Structure 1
Amino acid sequence: MKYMLIMRATDETFENFENVDFDEIIESMGRFNDELIRAGVLVAAEGLDPTQPGVVVDYSSEVPVVTDGPYGETKELFGGFWILNVASQEEAVAWARRAPLAGKGSKAEIRRVTSIDEMPQDNEWIKKEREWREATGQL
């Protein structure tokens, strides 16, 4: 099963790391990612840009509204993620507990990634997606 570990940071988290050397951050993340790779559970891992260049698409009106970042509410921002292929949620939690840079105010949200195999296989859109995944080597 795949699980996504979503790193959520607060303003306090960002303040805590303002004076941390970037090389130290890269070293710490690199060691953790290497452990995930050696364990054979890492599917993907990416960091995210700061909020400033980002945008929000709000679907609460008939025509979606796009607004520039930073976002109005910055209590908990996604800073990056890992996707792990592990046997259980408990194993995903065990890996999340070992993640570096989980400073005061940080959280990791863990959510199972659903599989295309769980969708109705007779649906035309699921069939098209399965064809695309096969053609691109993702199945």
Structure 2
Amino acid sequence: MRVMVLVKATADSEADGPIDPAMMAAMGRFNDELEAAGLLVEANGLKPSSYGKRIAFDGAERRVIEGPFLPAREQVAGYWIWSVANMDEAVAWAKRCPNPMPGPSEIEIRPFYELDDLS
């Protein structure tokens, strides 16, 4: 099964400050482990929501909303796509992840819909 692992943003990550090199090195090692295990499909960090835009839909109308978007904890700072056997395996790997942010942070794991789910 494929899952998207979302690194939730924090006030610090949304402030667009410098990225801690030690954290990036630890994350690089973790990504190397994921790749060696054959689980890593993709991984990327996202710029703060102040760089982003949203498109609001209301019938035929479209409205552009400029970032930043609040609250920070509801935003995504980065993600992985993993190919795992099941959700238990995804949780086990996520628990091994270095803390991706200074201070408290969260990772959310969401499975993709697969063709079998739609029939």
The two structures have a TM-score, normalised by structure 2, of 0.82
Aligned mates of 1:72, 1:34 — CA distance in 2? 33
Residue 101 of structure 1 corresponds to 99
Aligned mates of 1:75, 1:10 — CA distance in 2? 5
Which string of whole-angstrom CA distances, capped at 9 and with x for unpartnered residues, describes residues 46-86 of structure 1?
Answer: 11111121001122x22121111111432332011111111
Unaligned runs of 5+ in 1: 121-139
Residue 135 of structure 1 corresponds to none
Tell which has more relative contact order, 1 or 2 (C-alpha 8 A, sep 6+).
2
Larger radius of gyration: 1
- Identity, in percent, stands at 39
Q: CA deviation at 1:29?
A: 1.3
Residue 41 of structure 2 corresponds to 43
Aligned residues: 116
Change (3 A) 1:19 1:45: closer
For the residue of structure 2 that corresponds to 1:14, the secondary structure is: helix
Residue 84 of structure 1 corresponds to 82
The alignment yields a C-alpha RMSD, in angstroms, of 2.3
Unaligned runs of 5+ in 2: none
The one-letter code sitting in structure 2 at the alignment partner of 1:65 is R
Change (3 A) 1:19 1:57: closer
Would you tell me which structure has more strand in proportion to its own residues?
A: 2
For the residue of structure 2 that corresponds to 1:52, the secondary structure is: helix
Q: CA deviation at 1:113?
A: 1.0
The one-letter code sitting in structure 2 at the alignment partner of 1:9 is A
Aligned mates of 1:5, 1:75 — CA distance in 2? 15
Q: Does structure 2 retain, via aligned residues, the 8 Å contact 1:32–1:99? A: yes
Q: CA deviation at 1:30?
A: 0.8
Which string of whole-angstrom CA distances, capped at 9 and with x for unpartnered residues, describes residues 2-40 of structure 1?
Answer: 1111110221x539xx5763x323211110000000111
Q: Does structure 1 retain, via aligned residues, the 8 Å contact 2:43–2:81? A: yes
Residue 14 of structure 1 corresponds to 13
Aligned mates of 2:81, 2:116 — CA distance in 1? 18
